[in-house]
C-alpha cells in the first residue's frame, strides 16, 4: 500500500507575523504536524508528503526556512509545487537540496513515492492570482506521461481545473484547465488529480477521474456560493488529505482528516 499525505495552503509567515493580521499559520502547521506524528502509527507507514502550493504567504526565504523547520518532525520525503503566494526562484533556492528540484524553468517534478508517480506541476503566474500552465510545463508533462503506460499517477498542481461555485475564487482560475484535463484523460493508468488554492476540501467527479482540493491546515475560504459573495475566510477546523493506493486492486482511496480541536476518541462499547 502506498500512502501519501497532502498538505496545502500553509501560508507560512515570519515570527511575530500573522497572515492577514489574524492567522498564526505557524501555530496551525505545528499543531497539524504534531497531530500527524501522533496519528502515523494508526495510518502509516506513509511514503511522502505533497504540498499543493501556497507554502508561504509572501514567498520570502525566511518563510520557507520556518516552514521546513516546522515540517522536520515528520521526517518524510517531500514534494512541493508553487502556488500564487509563492516565489518561484526563492522556492527553488529553498529546496535546492531536494534531488527532484529542477535547476531552471518551471518547478515541475516527477517523484515516485511508493508505487505512485507524482507529477507536480507549476502553474504560478508571477504577481497574479490566477494559474496558467506554460507551453514548457505542458510539454514536460507530455514527455513524462510518455514514459508511463498504466502506472498509477497523482497529478498535482495549485489551481483547481474546475469551477468551485465560490465566485471570488473562481475569478482566479487555472486559465488553460481544458488542456490539462485532456492530458490527464490520456493517461490510461489509475489516477487522481489533487490541488489547493480554495482552502476547502472539495471533489469534482470529472470524465478524467476525481479531482480533489485539499484543505488548508490553517484558514478556510468561507463556503459562500451566492452570486457576488464576499471574499472572506474563517478559522473553521483545518485539515489534510491522506491518499492511498492499493497495487492489488489498483484503486486510490482518499481520506479527509480534520486537525482542529475536537474531543475523543471514545469507545463505542464502554
Strands 116-120 and 191-195: unpaired
Q: Which window, 6-14, 31-39, 102-110, 200-208, contacts Fe ion (CB under 5 A)?
A: 6-14
Q: Which window, 7-15, 99-107, 139-147, 232-240, contacts Fe ion (CB under 5 A)?
A: 7-15
Q: Which window, 5-13, 94-102, 114-122, 130-138, contacts Fe ion (CB under 5 A)?
A: 5-13
- Contact call for residue 9 and Fe ion (CB under 5 A): yes
**Site map 227..256 versus Fe ion, x via CB under 5 A:** ------------------------------
Least separation in angstroms between residue 55's CB and Fe ion is 10
Q: What is the rounded distance in angstroms from the CA atom of residue 231 to the CA atom of residue 268?
A: 41
| Residues β-bridged to residue 209 | 206
As a whole number of Å, the end-to-end CA separation of the chain is 32
When the beta carbons of 46 and 198 are compared against Fe ion, the nearer one is: 198
Size of the site for Fe ion (CB under 5 A): 2
**Sheet with 2-7, side-by-side order of all strands:** 78-81, 48-52, 2-7, 239-246, 251-258
Q: Are 122 and 107 in contact (CB under 8 A)?
A: yes
Q: Are 83 and 196 in contact (CB under 8 A)?
A: yes
Strands 220-221 and 209-213: unpaired
Q: Is 202 helix (H, G, I), strand (E, B) or coil?
A: strand
DSSP 89: H
Least separation in angstroms between residue 223's CB and Fe ion is 15
Least separation in angstroms between residue 173's CB and Fe ion is 14
**Site map 51..90 versus Fe ion, x via CB under 5 A:** ---x------------------------------------
Least separation in angstroms between residue 257's CB and Fe ion is 19
Least separation in angstroms between residue 196's CB and Fe ion is 6
**Site map 126..165 versus Fe ion, x via CB under 5 A:** ----------------------------------------
Least separation in angstroms between residue 109's CB and Fe ion is 20
> CA angle, corner 263, sides to 25 and 40, nearest 5?
65
Residue 225: which of 245, 202, 253, 248 has the closest Cα? 202
Q: Are 234 and 22 in contact (CB under 8 A)?
A: no
Least separation in angstroms between residue 123's CB and Fe ion is 13
Q: Are 156 and 81 in contact (CB under 8 A)?
A: yes
**Site map 26..55 versus Fe ion, x via CB under 5 A:** ----------------------------x-
Chain residues binding Fe ion by CB under 5 A are: 9, 54
Amino acid at each position: 500500500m502506498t500512502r501519501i499525505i497532502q498538505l496545502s495552503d500553509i501560508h507560512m509567515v515570519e515570527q511575530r507575523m500573522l497572515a492577514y493580521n489574524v492567522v498564526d499559520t505557524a501555530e496551525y502547521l505545528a499543531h497539524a504536524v504534531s497531530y500527524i506524528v501522533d496519528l502515523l502509527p494508526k495510518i502509516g507507514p506513509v511514503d511522502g508528503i505533497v504540498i499543493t502550493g501556497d507554502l508561504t504567504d509572501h514567498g520570502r526565504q525566511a518563510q520557507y526556512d520556518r516552514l521546513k523547520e516546522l515540517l522536520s518532525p515528520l521526517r518524510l520525503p517531500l514534494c512541493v509545487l508553487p502556488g500564487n503566494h509563492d516565489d518561484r526562484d526563492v522556492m527553488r533556492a529553498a529546496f535546492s537540496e531536494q534531488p527532484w528540484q529542477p535547476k531552471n524553468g518551471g518547478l515541475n517534478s516527477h517523484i515516485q513515492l511508493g508505487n505512485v508517480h507524482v507529477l507536480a506541476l507549476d502553474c504560478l503566474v508571477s504577481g497574479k492570482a490566477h494559474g496558467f500552465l506554460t507551453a514548457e510545463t505542458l510539454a514536460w508533462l507530455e514527455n513524462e506521461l510518455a514514459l508511463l503506460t498504466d502506472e498509477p499517477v497523482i497529478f498535482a498542481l495549485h489551481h483547481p481545473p474546475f469551477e468551485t461555485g465560490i465566485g471570488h475564487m473562481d475569478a482566479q482560475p487555472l486559465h488553460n484547465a481544458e488542456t490539462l484535463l485532456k492530458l490527464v484523460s490520456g493517461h490510461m493508468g489509475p489516477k487522481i488529480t489533487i490541488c489547493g488554492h480554495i482552502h476547502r476540501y472539495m471533489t469534482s467527479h470529472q470524465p478524467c477521474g476525481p479531482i480533489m482540493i485539499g484543505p488548508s491546515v490553517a484558514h478556510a475560504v468561507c463556503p459562500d456560493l451566492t452570486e457576488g459573495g464576499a471574499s472572506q475566510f474563517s478559522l473553521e477546523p483545518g485539515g489534510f488529505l491522506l491518499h492511498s493506493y492499493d497495487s492489488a486492486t489498483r484503486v486510490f482511496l482518499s481520506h479527509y482528516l480534520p486537525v482542529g480541536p475536537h474531543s475523543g476518541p471514545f469507545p463505542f462499547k464502554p
